[in-house]
């Protein structure tokens, strides 16, 4: 028994003197542990970082390029103007000047003539201009033109308004209607006309 205790003590003493086993010994004793090595600095990044980088690259590639092209915006504005059928400073093509004539000194602000639905002869029209004619002369100019074309002047509504004068004319049982408004502005008259008419009548 004493010999066994002495041998055990000697074994413990030797282990304390020799320290940790060498790499080769570690491989012999625990091959599973020795085979596992820490990743080097040159290895690929973790999946999370790689996915984030791919997301950023994809976002850059799929950006909206149309905002960087000023020509695209200009083309859209031009198409909208063409579709609207309006002109600034001049008469729009096919404007019914026989029904809505211009004063000799008229300064055209804006005009429009837009077909209504599929009908080719019905138009929504508007005319804005400035003139030096008196209020009465402006109203009489359009009264003469419209009444001679078969329109009937409606009774004034009598509602309070900032306009110096206004008049409404109808034709075709009310299907065609023209409203004329005259406003005193800076010593001149601003005329606003709008309505729905059949061209060529």
| Domain extent for 166 | 86-198
CATH number at residue 163: 3.30.310
Residue 119: per-residue pLDDT? 64
What is residue 118's predicted lDDT score, i.e. its pLDDT? 77
pLDDT at 67: 46
pLDDT value at residue 8? 41
Q: How many other C-beta atoms can be found within 10 angstroms of the C-beta atom of residue 24?
A: 9
The answer to whether 128 and 111 are in contact (CB under 8 A) is yes
Q: Is residue 6 part of a domain?
A: no
Q: Chunked in runs of 10, what are the mean pLDDT values of the chain (201 residues)? A: 40 42 40 41 46 48 47 42 73 93 97 85 94 97 97 84 93 94 94 91 64
Question: Would residue 73 count as lying in a domain?
Answer: no
Asked if residue 2 belongs to a domain, the reply is: no
Q: Is position 152 within any domain?
A: yes
Residue 11 lies in a domain: no
27: Cβ contacts below 8 Å, ≥ 6 apart: 34
Coil, helix or strand at residue 56? helix
Task: Find where tokens 């085979």 sit.
Answer: 35
In a 3-state reduction of DSSP, which class is residue 125? strand
In this predicted structure, what is the pLDDT of residue 155? 86
Contact by Cβ (8 Å): 129, 103: yes
Return the closest-CA partner of residue 164 out of 131, 126, 127, 125: 131
The answer to the question of residue 54 being in a domain is: no
DSSP 86-120: EEESSPPTT--TTTSPPPTT-EEEEEEEEE-TT-S
Question: Which residues are within 8 A (CB) of 98 and not within 5 positions of it... i.e. 6 or more apart?
Answer: 145, 149
Burial class (CB in 10 A: 0-12, 13-18, 19+), 86: middle
If one counts the domains in the chain, the total is: 1
Note whether residue 94 is domain-resident: yes
Position 183 in a domain: yes
């Amino acid at each position: 028994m004493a010999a066994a205790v002495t041998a055990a003590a000697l074994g413990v003493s030797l282990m304390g003197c020799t320290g940790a086993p060498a790499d080769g010994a570690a491989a012999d004793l625990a091959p599973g542990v020795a085979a596992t090595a820490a990743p080097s600095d040159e290895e690929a990044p973790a999946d999370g970082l790689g996915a984030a980088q791919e997301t950023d690259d994809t976002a850059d590639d799929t950006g909206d390029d149309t905002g960087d092209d000023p020509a695209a915006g200009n083309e859209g504005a031009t198409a909208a103007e063409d579709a609207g059928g309006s002109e600034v400073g001049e008469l729009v093509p096919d404007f019914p000047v026989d029904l809505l004539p211009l004063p000799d000194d008229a300064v055209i602000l804006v005009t429009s003539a837009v077909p209504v639905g599929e009908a080719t002869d019905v138009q929504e029209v508007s005319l804005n201009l400035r003139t030096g004619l008196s209020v009465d002369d402006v109203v009489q100019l359009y009264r003469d033109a419209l009444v001679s074309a078969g329109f009937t002047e409606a009774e004034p509504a009598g509602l309070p308004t900032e306009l110096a004068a206004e008049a409404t004319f109808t034709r075709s049982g009310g299907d065609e209607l023209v409203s004329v408004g005259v406003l005193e502005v800076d010593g001149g008259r601003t005329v606003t006309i709008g309505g729905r008419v059949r061209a060529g009548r």
